[in-house]
A and B are shown apart, each in its own frame.
Chain A
Amino acid sequence: MPLTGIEIFKLLPRTNCGQCGVPTCLAFAMNLAAGKAELSSCPHVSEEAKAKLEEASAPPIRPVTIGAGEGQVKIGGETVLFRHEKRFENPTAIAMLVRDDMSDDEIAARLEKFRTLRYERVGLMLKPDMVALEAASGDPERFARVAARVHADTGGAAMVLMSEQPPLLARALEAVPGSRPLLYGVTTENLEAMLELAKAHQASLGVKGNSIDEAIAASQKLLDLGCKNVVLDGGARSLKAAFEEQVAIRRAALLQKFRPLGFPTIVFPCRMTDDPMKEALIAATFIAKYGGIVVLSDLEGHSLFPLLVARLNIFTDPQRPMATSEGIYPIGNPDDKSPVLVTSNFSLTYFIVSGEIENSRVPAWLLVQDTEGLSVLTAWAAGKFVADTIAALVKKSGIADRVSHRKIVIPGHLAAESGALEDELKGWQVLVGPREGAHIPAYLKNWQAA
């Protein structure tokens, strides 16, 4: 809960020295409460008061960073229940399970998949984020060796080290110095030793409760001991119970500002079913509904790709239209006789149009105009995608050097612009294409350069 001005006032020195720029501590407190001042402006505030004030102003779900360098992953920091209310901040991290009792070949194969199963999509790289390494062999040396292997073979991907035995974890942490993994799981029994390890290695701690109450107990204790890099597991291992648990944690954190649950979560679809297809649906559920980390039993392109795209969709900022950059996009190796089509730079429009051109199997040049992320119809209505702007794009893009013909296809919705565009683009013939992306393949199949 944010503190009131009076509550803040009680934490200040109350000497009214004026060094903060206002004459009294009370005035300063009021400014702080209103977000109009920074605590650092008061040179006399005590460490204890500082800690209390920071605690009170921390986000309702703390952001937690796991890993170091390139492979670092940030989760949590969420402020809303529904993405349309603002946006979701940090995409659910997707982790692949590796057990240290798997054969070396199996481990190598998994790490190979982790490295190679990545997909480029409109300038974004979609890929899995973490490896969750489970100490199943019980042998500290083996666990440490596999940890080092995972670290090396993934180029330092963020890790979850899974064991409830601090000595095992200690050995692995020595093998991967500076890797700052998530240590899972903390129980009320091993809590002190785990906290010590986390402090020594700048690791974060994954609380493992058998119930939400157990998770709260451990997390409260960690908070009391000053630990803030916490990830929560309330222990639910069925789809329905886990869904309920995720909603419960998110709501308690946001609606009640309940600190012990104000942390990102870790969810284990890999423990909820043996059927990999079903596991994918469970994982999708926790990408949409509040999972901080989702641990998958394995990676397969046919399930990983849909999940990565689902995550991209859910974590897109709803307030900002997705945009593609302006320019010429060759689709399917076009040559100087291939058709030229023009469209807006709203990502969805670009996806659909480029996808349909691909479906048509007719190689083409797609000219994308920067319409500030607006769709064809909206951009046209706003005067941002009209004869003038298209003519300017055709001229500056240099498309005339790529093709020998002089025909350009505009979206059906822009039919009214064709006359004006022909006036602006001397020597070009303007063709009116279909209104709907779905009709592009039929249209292109009948297209003639000559």
Chain B
Amino acid sequence: MEKKWDFETLLIHGGLEPGPAGATTVPIVQSSAFAYDSADALEDVFRGRRPGQVYTRIGNPTTESLEKRLTLLEDGIAGIVTASGMAAISTAVLTILRSGDEILSSSSVFGGTFSLFRDTLSSYGIGVRFVDPTDLKAVREGVGERTRLLFVETIGNPKMDVPDIAALAEIAREAKIPLMLDATVTTPWMARGKDLGADLVVHSTSKFINGSGSAIGGAIIDLGRFDWGGEKYPHFAPFVKKFGRFAFTARARKLVHKDLGACAAPMNSFLLAEGIETLALRMERHCSSALRLASFLREHPKVRWVNYPGLPDSPFQDIASRQFGGRYGALLTFGLPDKEAAFRFINALRLARNLANIGDAKTLVIHPASTICCDYTPEEKALMGVTEELVRVSVGIEAPGDIVGDFAQALEQV
């Protein structure tokens, strides 16, 4: 019944059950463990004969409510909410890959993901091959014998490149490997991974889902399309046999998520769920203000270039228009003459905050080369699209004129 509502209504009512005493928000169940009246009842839950919560690392009512809501928004079959976006990516990837396997990843991924794939996972025998996700030939050629996952961001952060996700899904399907999308910057409001042909979606809910920079969180949504019974995934066989199309989520829940322990705090699940209600309204404003700011910067004599997929001269405007229904997101990057100019600009801002985050109601800026990407070599930075003169902006939902005004006065001082 709920699935027939429009997306905006689903955001507010989808998956929500009435709370105690008619409460309209989700109760924060701040309890580590859950008691049962009989030993038999607890045995039944442990053996999986009946659903129930036993321990908050494994499951919690507040977190489960958020899992259901996000799953509904993505039109998936099951979801897992985690402590952070990185926890979601780590858990999802480790559910799929074993030592000796390889990830085929977009090279323009968020720095934390780049480091997870290149440094952390490689010390456990999981390899990675980075490719330009907009070069379909390179992606096709990047699929090797040991490739078990194709990973890509819907819009590369901070490269701002937009891959053709349906075409990538086709490559993954041919290779009989799943396509995992990091849809943090687009959210299900701009596009649903399922409609684009993806198999799994991960989010850092810390960003636009939360919307006010008040909690860190992540989510993995299983879209239920991938056949885990294939010969490349023998470790899924017992889960396919027992849980059918839920094999991925079952393996994640019964092993990796439970064992790594990157569970969400109930309070954070509450805060993240609060953000869902206003997602559509906020995203509309984020997108319209970002386009306005991008157009202003595009014309400004001190600005060398602007990267925003909504600009008519962006090489990604076409694909972004088709894929995201004429919406281009809140993120943009632009170039000043050099690093010193970028620093002068940031120091002169009065409204926009200089910090390492995106997706807040507040307008945020950062100089990625000296901060989130400071540990990378110039070659690696180039791969991620990060240069010394680049400033990244996450356009907030303040009065659009005030945002543009702040940038105008700061540019005066460059």
- Is the pairing of A and B real? no
Interface residues of B (CB under 8 A from A): none
